[in-house]
Structures are given as C-alpha cells and as structure tokens.
Amino acid sequence: MPDNTREGSSARFVDGGIPAGMLAAVREERPLIHHITNSVTINDCANITICVGAAPVMASAPEEVAEMVAAAGALVLNIGTLSAAQVEAMLIAGRHANDLGIPVVLDPVGAGATAFRTASTRRLLEALDIAVLKGNAGEIGVLAGTGGSVRGVDSAGITADPVATVRECASSTGTVVAMTGETDLVTDGRGVYAVRNGSPLMERLSGTGCMAASITGAFAAVAGDLPVSSAAALAAFGLAGERAEVAARGPYSFRAALFDELAGLTPDDLARHARVEVL
C-alpha cells in the first residue's frame, strides 16, 4: 500500500484529501454502477448510489447483463435473495466485466447461513476476478475459514482476531476484503485500513450493508487503488451515518437522514472528518 498518511496523536491516518478526491471524482464522472442485487434493498441501493453521485442500473436478466455491464464503471453483485438463475446472470455479467477490466464488487449476504449461499459465494469467487469482497464479520470469517457465525443474513460474530481474519480472507481469496462492523477493516492481504467513521444506528436498519457495497462500487469505478477506494467509500458512508444520527429520533428517521446527509456530503467534509487509520 502507498504511504499516503498523516500523523495522528498516536496513529497514522490516511490523508483526508485522498478520500475527498475520490468523492469529487465520483461526482464529476457519475459512473454507471450495474447491480445484480437482492429484492429487499434494491430501491435503497439505487437511491444511495444516486446520493453518492453515481448512476445506478438494476439489471439481472441473463439476456441483457453482458450488454449492460459493458456500459458500466463497476458491477455490484449481492446474493441477498439468492436463486440459481441469479447466480448464472452474475456469472455472465462478471465474466464480461472481467474481460473489459471493469471492477466487480461481491457482497456475500448470508454466506455461512446455508450451504447454498456459501457454495454460491465460493463459486463466484472461483469463477470471477472479484475486485472487492465486502461482507460483515460473520460472512468474512466463514469465507476465511477462521470461524464465523451468521444468523439469517446478519453477522453473529467471529471467533478469531478481526485483523487476522480479514487478512486471511484476502490472502485465501486473492481479493481486496472490506469487513464491516463497529470498525470497518479493509485489506489486500498486506496492510490494513481501519475505518472509524459510523453510527450504531446503521446496524438497526435493513440494507445498510447492501448500500455500503453500492458506494464501494462507485468509488472503485473512479480509483485504481482498491484498498484505499474501499476505505474511502466506507468512510463517506460512515460519516453520513454520524451526521444522520444527530437529528434522528429512531431508525426510520435515521434512514431518511442517511440519504440526505450522503447527498449533501462534500469533498471538504470528507477531507476534514474521514478517519481512516493505517494499522
């Protein structure tokens, strides 16, 4: 990882100008983010993509996914409401994205909860060149083989050290791994970024993990350094969550504020308040 850091009181943090520049690039370029995603959160994923400054398209028919992904800046695959037909569409789109050099983000929702989800995730990882694997701690622990637990589609925790887990997952899969939680961790198997922006209310909403994958795809579409772009995306989303918490009366008012705060987030806000630590 490049040394784009500044000194904190007792830690090194990524220079805030770097995530700020990536947010500015998303807003300027407005990349198309092709989603093959789940039916529960599809509208939230589309709207959060617009709020961060990119353009969403939600296309999953096998007959059109290759043509659609050719126009995209990134492809986001989410197995939240999984079917065999959806996996086939993901493989078609993913292979064409790989051929064209378009980054693919995989959100392995519920991997570890059922054999079908786990096997489908591993099939996608083996068949495709996944640029970023974004999951919660339970999902990443299962895929790393270090111990993880998933209840439905929610993380029930991991048994191993989080940093060791995320590193092992990146090394074994050959992908950049972004593991979300109270502190988000991002690694390419070597250095690790800890993203310390966020709000506890983000865990009280269905779909914030799916939305995080959409934002990760938007940042990946405009930046070549995938560990840094993934950390920057999570910092932007987390900062929006911090600001939404201030005015929220509960989970649903927080949800509305989350979209508004991300849409209003400026590169200068991110430069000043992103907290991405280099471990």
pLDDT in tens, 7-57: 545 679 899 999 999 999 999 999 999 999 999 999 999 999 999 999 999
How many angstroms separate the CA atoms of 138 and 180, rounded?
10
The model's pLDDT over 143-198, given as tens digits with 9 standing for 90+, comes to 988 665 454 444 445 667 899 999 999 999 999 999 999 999 999 998 999 999 99
Tell whether residue 8 is among the known ligand binding residues.
Answer: no
pTM: 0.92
Name the CA radius of gyration of the chain, rounded: 17
Tell whether residue 90 is among the known ligand binding residues.
Answer: no
The model's pLDDT over 116-149, given as tens digits with 9 standing for 90+, comes to 999 999 999 999 999 999 999 989 998 988 665 4
More confident residue, 98 or 156: 98
Residue 125: per-residue pLDDT: 97
| Predicted confidence band of residue 93 (pLDDT cuts 50, 70, 90) | very high
Tell whether residue 180 is among the known ligand binding residues.
Answer: yes
Sheet holding 32-36, edge to edge: 5-7, 12-14, 276-278, 192-195, 184-187, 176-180, 132-136, 104-107, 74-78, 32-36, 55-58
Number of alpha helices (DSSP H) and beta strands (DSSP E) in the chain = 11, 13
Residue 150: per-residue pLDDT: 54
Q: Once rounded to an integer, what is the mean pLDDT over residues 93-121?
A: 95
For residue 122, which amino acid is it?
R
Residue 77: per-residue pLDDT: 98
Q: Could you tell me if 90 and 123 are in contact, meaning their C-beta atoms sit under 8 angstroms apart?
A: no
| Predicted confidence band of residue 213 (pLDDT cuts 50, 70, 90) | very high
Tell whether residue 207 is among the known ligand binding residues.
Answer: yes
Give percent of the chain above pLDDT 70: 91
Q: Once rounded to an integer, what is the mean pLDDT over residues 80-95?
A: 97
Domains of the chain (ranges; CATH) run 16-278 (3.40.1190.20)
Residue 19: per-residue pLDDT: 96
Mean pLDDT of the chain: 92
Q: Once rounded to an integer, what is the mean pLDDT over residues 193-208?
A: 93
Q: Could you tell me if 100 and 70 are in contact, meaning their C-beta atoms sit under 8 angstroms apart?
A: yes
Q: Could you tell me if 40 and 70 are in contact, meaning their C-beta atoms sit under 8 angstroms apart?
A: no
Q: Once rounded to an integer, what is the mean pLDDT over residues 231-245?
A: 98
Residue 218: per-residue pLDDT: 98
Q: Once rounded to an integer, what is the mean pLDDT over residues 83-100?
A: 98
